[in-house]
């Protein structure tokens, strides 16, 4: 049974009762429209703590004005059923007024390359929204562990920095990206893809994998530019970036060890992915 909790008083009471019994808490923040990637995070959480809490909240402050906040998939009943099968103890499902009593507004900002490059450059304010909501969720849930996916690699680095700078006693655990059998990273946004676009989407992970091999073999010269062209030739409409970056700082890198990160558009759908190099 997964307890659905929609008000802060019940959440706090539930957590206090667990704490009184000496239990530990793993927390998995999500925006819902859950898939196997999210459930893998729940499985991981269960390995570390005696209780798992999953939040489901489509956070308005991390969406830009022209982004997909309104059409973001909301599938609460299916999500709760999936969490029950996965054995999550509680689903924390607050509304916007609970999370933002004074209206949706970001109050945290982290400066520097980590937040200002790649997703941060293309989606201004996105990471302010992420930092604000995650800090608030951490304060409410008070977890011992929090589990995030490497799918959102830059976000994972930001959360590690947030925990370090705010000196929170939370261990952040990052999990590798779960993929479809053809390699497409699982994502709530994949359901936007038409069957035609879904076929083309596989190119993203294929091209990135090839590029990783090229860089590993010392053929990094022109590899990223070639990857961009391959995606466009493969039917992607626009490539926001493909970038080889230091895996910790996201400063530009030219050699391994590094991370290859990409964001690209198929019609109205923006896909992101990344691989270790």
Query: Judged by CB under 6 A, which of 117, 132, 188, 211 binds ligand AMP?
Result: 188
User: With binding defined as CB under 6 A, does residue 239 bind ligand AMP?
Assistant: no
Residue number with CB closer to ligand AMP (151 or 259): 151
How far apart, in whole angstroms, are the C-alpha atoms of residue 206 and residue 121? 25
Stretch that binds ligand AMP, among 109-117, 147-155, 257-265, 267-275 (CB under 6 A): 147-155
Whether the upstream peptide bond of residue 217 has omega within 30° of 0, thus cis, is no
User: With binding defined as CB under 6 A, does residue 193 bind ligand AMP?
Assistant: no
**Other C-beta atoms within 10 Å of 6: how many?**
12
8 A C-beta contact, residue 122 and residue 94: no
User: Is position 38 annotated as part of the catalytic site?
Assistant: yes
User: With binding defined as CB under 6 A, does residue 37 bind ligand AMP?
Assistant: yes
- For ligand AMP (CB under 6 A), the number of binding residues is 17
Tokens of 158: 């930001």
Residue number with CB closer to ligand AMP (37 or 120): 37
Residues in 157-186 that interact with ligand AMP by CB under 6 A: 175, 177-178, 185-186
Taking the complex as a whole, how short is the minimal distance between the CB of residue 236 and ligand AMP, in angstroms? Answer: 19
How far apart, in whole angstroms, are the C-alpha atoms of residue 84 and residue 95? 21
Strand order in the sheet with 259-266: 238-245, 259-266, 269-276
User: With binding defined as CB under 6 A, does residue 26 bind ligand AMP?
Assistant: no
User: With binding defined as CB under 6 A, does residue 205 bind ligand AMP?
Assistant: no
User: With binding defined as CB under 6 A, does residue 273 bind ligand AMP?
Assistant: no
- Is residue 95 classed as helix, strand or coil in its secondary structure? coil
User: With binding defined as CB under 6 A, does residue 38 bind ligand AMP?
Assistant: yes
Taking the complex as a whole, how short is the minimal distance between the CB of residue 148 and ligand AMP, in angstroms? Answer: 4
Taking the complex as a whole, how short is the minimal distance between the CB of residue 185 and ligand AMP, in angstroms? Answer: 5
Taking the complex as a whole, how short is the minimal distance between the CB of residue 80 and ligand AMP, in angstroms? Answer: 15
Taking the complex as a whole, how short is the minimal distance between the CB of residue 16 and ligand AMP, in angstroms? Answer: 26
How far apart, in whole angstroms, are the C-alpha atoms of residue 108 and residue 130? 9
DSSP string, 44-59: HHHHH-SEEEEEE---
* β-strands 269-276, 145-149 pairing: unpaired
8 A C-beta contact, residue 174 and residue 168: no
Taking the complex as a whole, how short is the minimal distance between the CB of residue 56 and ligand AMP, in angstroms? Answer: 8
- Is residue 29 classed as helix, strand or coil in its secondary structure? strand
Residue number with CB closer to ligand AMP (192 or 220): 192
Whether the upstream peptide bond of residue 117 has omega within 30° of 0, thus cis, is no
Q: For ligand AMP, which residue has the nearest CB?
A: 149
Which letter does DSSP use for residue 35 in this model?
-
CA angle, 153 then 157 then 159, to 5°? 115
Give the footprint of ligand AMP on this chain (CB under 6 A).
30-31, 37-38, 40-41, 148-149, 151-152, 175, 177-178, 185-188
- The catalytic site residues sit at 38
């Amino acid at each position: 049974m997964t307890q659905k909790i929609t008000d802060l008083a019940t959440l706090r009471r539930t957590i206090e009762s667990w704490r009184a019994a000496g239990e530990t808490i793993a927390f998995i923040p999500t925006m819902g429209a859950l898939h196997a990637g999210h459930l893998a995070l729940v499985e991981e959480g269960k390995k570390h703590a005696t209780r798992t809490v999953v939040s489901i909240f489509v956070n308005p402050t991390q969406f830009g004005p022209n982004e997909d906040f309104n059409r973001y998939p909301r599938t609460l009943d299916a999500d709760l059923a999936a969490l029950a099968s996965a054995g999550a103890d509680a689903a924390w499902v607050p509304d916007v007024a609970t999370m933002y009593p004074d209206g949706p507004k970001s109050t945290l900002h982290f400066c520097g390359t980590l937040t200002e490059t790649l997703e941060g450059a293309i989606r201004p304010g996105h990471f302010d929204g992420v930092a604000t909501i995650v800090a608030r969720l951490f304060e409410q849930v008070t977890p011992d562990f929090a589990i995030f996916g490497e799918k959102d690699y830059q976000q994972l680095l930001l959360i590690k920095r947030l925990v370090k700078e705010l000196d929170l006693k939370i261990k952040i655990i990052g999990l590798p990206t779960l993929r479809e059998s053809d390699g497409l990273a699982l994502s709530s946004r994949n359901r936007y893809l038409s069957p035609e676009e879904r076929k083309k989407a596989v190119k993203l992970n294929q091209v990135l994998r090839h590029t990783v091999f090229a860089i590993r073999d010392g053929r990094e010269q022109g590899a990223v530019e070639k990857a961009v062209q391959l995606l466009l030739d493969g039917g992607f409409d626009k490539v926001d970036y493909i970038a080889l970056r230091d895996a910790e700082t996201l400063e530009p890198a030219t050699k391994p060890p590094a991370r290859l990160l990409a964001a690209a558009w198929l019609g109205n759908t923006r896909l992101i992915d990344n691989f270790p190099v």
